[in-house]
Chains A and B, each alone.
Chain A
Amino acid sequence: MAIRPASRKDAQVLVGGYDCTPALDAVGFKEVAGLATFNPLGPTGVFPVIYDTGARSAELTAAGLLDGNNTTLSTITGTSAVAMVKFDSDVLNRNAYCFRSATVSETEVLIADGDMTRIVPGISVSGEFNQGYIVAPLIARTDGSNTDATYADAEAATISPTGAHAFLNVTAIALGGYANCLITVRDSADGGAHADHTAFTAVTAIGAEYKYMAHPVGRYISVSWAWVGGAPSGGHSITFSVAYARD
């Protein structure tokens, strides 16, 4: 099987509705398993035995230019945000590393003679992290529709045995007179007809959200977006990305 390496050109970093990608030149992710080392007595104790406690922790790091247009990573607000990091291109079915609650807990501004001003944020991750799939790449969408014909395939059981997790980042929206835009995660057990499963909170501004999808959740995942209410005057558009991960 041919390998599919990725490089910096394939990375995308979305935090709290902001596309931080253009101002970053480094991003890193690390997931750590809590392991316990046990050295049994007796003949079986020649080598230590490693047990997985089940505990997990995740680290997210980034560095880049100070961007006056986007202070998401350069300012401590105390507010947590949904973060989505893609290392393998922003393409349907590719991996997305998703954080339900990422908080900038330290921020370093580096001024160097003759150089651009840089930032190095420290990001604290609270709660669970999910390695998921891209269901909807980050692109601008206009009239309401869905991605049923280009669904994401989680390559798991036809029906998820438990629940699932959905992550949304909206980086731009022009209501064009509408009251809001409703983005809904849809599923299908067999790749045939899709149905609405879980809706995000109606969108009126840029932002990000995490939603838990209760069991049962079909294998094939798509999204829909619909413009709601108001007095439409044209020019409506929404730029968003959705990622999904099973329990």
Chain B
Amino acid sequence: MAIVPSSSKDVTFTFNGTNLSEWVTAPPNYKLNAAMQTWTPPSSAFPTTHDTGQRSVENVQVTFIADGAAGGPNLKCATGTSSTMTTVIATGQSIAGTFVVASQEVQITDGDTLLVVEFFGSGTITWDLAT
């Protein structure tokens, strides 16, 4: 079965109702965790692992070109904003959920000024990576 890979050119990033892709210099990475319970019964050589059903997503960091315009990342990603984040990985593949802006950091560089935003996931994260 042929694989169906994708690349950064297939990615779009939307938060707080706005497609912010054109400002993104460092795309988000996502990590989803399942809380596992592991124990080794006295009679066993190997541990037993059980999926508790609990899930968590690690904090997401996105770097933008800083832009204070009305539809730009500075305002759309104001600290404390809670809204839906949708990252389309490729056609038919996306990661989405409610995220809260935990921090904004302005980085003045030799190039354009950058805005580094950290998001905390809140509640259900939909993980759909099948085409």
Q: Which A residues have a C-beta under 8 Å from some C-beta of B?
A: 19, 22-23, 54-58, 65-71, 74-76, 78, 80, 101, 103-117, 122, 124-129, 172
- B28 & A111 in contact (Cβ 8 Å cutoff): yes
Taking CB atoms and an 8 Å cut-off, the chain B residues in 1-45 that contact chain A are 1-8, 10-11, 25-34, 36, 38, 40, 44-45
Partner of B7, one of A56, A116, A125: A116
Partner-binding segment picked from B50-58, B69-77, B104-112: B50-58
Separation of A57 and B87 alpha carbons in the complex (Å): 36
**In this complex, what residue of B is CB-closest to A19?**
B1
Please indicate the chain B residues that have their CB under 8 angstroms from the CB of A117 in the complex: 5-8, 10-11, 89-90
Complex-state Cα separation, A23 to B87, whole angstroms = 22
Contact partners of A103 in chain B: CB under 8 A: 34, 36, 49, 51
Give every chain B residue within 8 A of A19 (Cβ-Cβ).
Answer: 1
Is A65 in contact with B3, judged by CB distance below 8 angstroms? yes
Q: How far apart are the CA atoms of A115 and B55 in the complex, in Å?
A: 28
Closest to A206 in B: B1
- CB-CB < 8 A to B27: which residues of A? 111-113
Q: Which residues of B contact A78 (CB under 8 A)?
A: 34, 51, 53
Nearest-neighbor residue (CB-CB) of A107 within chain B: B32
Option from A68, A115, A125, A126 in Cβ contact (under 8 Å) with B131: A68
Chain A residues contacting B82 (CB-CB under 8 Å) are: none
Contacts of A122 in B (CB 8 A): 33
Which residues of B sit under 8 angstroms from A74, Cβ to Cβ?
Answer: 129
Q: Does B93 contact A (CB under 8 A)?
A: yes
Q: Which residue of B lies closest to A124 (CB)?
A: B49
Interchain CB contact under 8 A, B29 and A69:
no
In the complex the two chains form, what is the Cα distance from A55 to B43 in whole Å?
10
Partner of A76, one of B4, B34, B89: B34
B59-93 interface code vs A (CB 8 A; 1 in, 0 out)? 00000000000000000000000000001011011
| With known contacts A66-B129, A67-B3, A75-B129, A111–B34 Cβ distance under 8 A | no
B36, B45, B89, B127: which has the most chain A beta carbons within 10 Å? B45
Chain B residue contacts of A125, Cβ below 8 A? 49
Contact of A23 among B5, B25, B34 (CB under 8 A): B5
| A38 to B14 CA separation, bound complex (whole angstroms) | 58
B3 contacts across to A, CB distance below 8 A:
22-23, 65, 67, 69-70
CB-CB under 8 A from B6, the residues of chain A are 66, 68, 116-117
Contact yes or no, A109 B92, CB < 8 A: no
> Are A70 and B36 in contact, with the CB atoms below 8 A?
no
The 9 closest A-B pairs by CB, nearest first: A68-B131, A126-B49, A68-B4, A111-B27, A108-B31, A105-B34, A67-B3, A78-B51, A65-B5
Instruction: List the A side residues contacting B36 at CB < 8 Å.
Output: 103, 105, 124
* Shortest Cβ distance from residue B50 to the other chain A in the assembled complex, whole angstroms: 7
A111 / chain B contacts, CB cutoff of 8 Å:
8, 11, 27-29, 87, 89
Residue from B4, B48, B87 whose CB has the most chain A CB atoms within 10 Å: B4
Among the listed A23, A55, A75, A116, which residue makes an inter-chain contact with B127, where contact means beta carbons less than 8 Å apart?
Answer: A75
Nearest Cβ in chain B — how far from A163, in angstroms?
A: 15
A67 touches B4 (CB 8 A): yes
Q: Contact: A69 with B7, CB < 8 Å? A: no
Q: How far is the CB of A59 from chain B (nearest CB, A)?
A: 11
| Interface contacts beyond A78-B51, A117-B7: sample of 4 additional A-B pairs, CB < 8 Å, sorted by A | A23-B3, A65-B3, A69-B4, A71-B129
CB-CB nearest in chain A for B31: A108
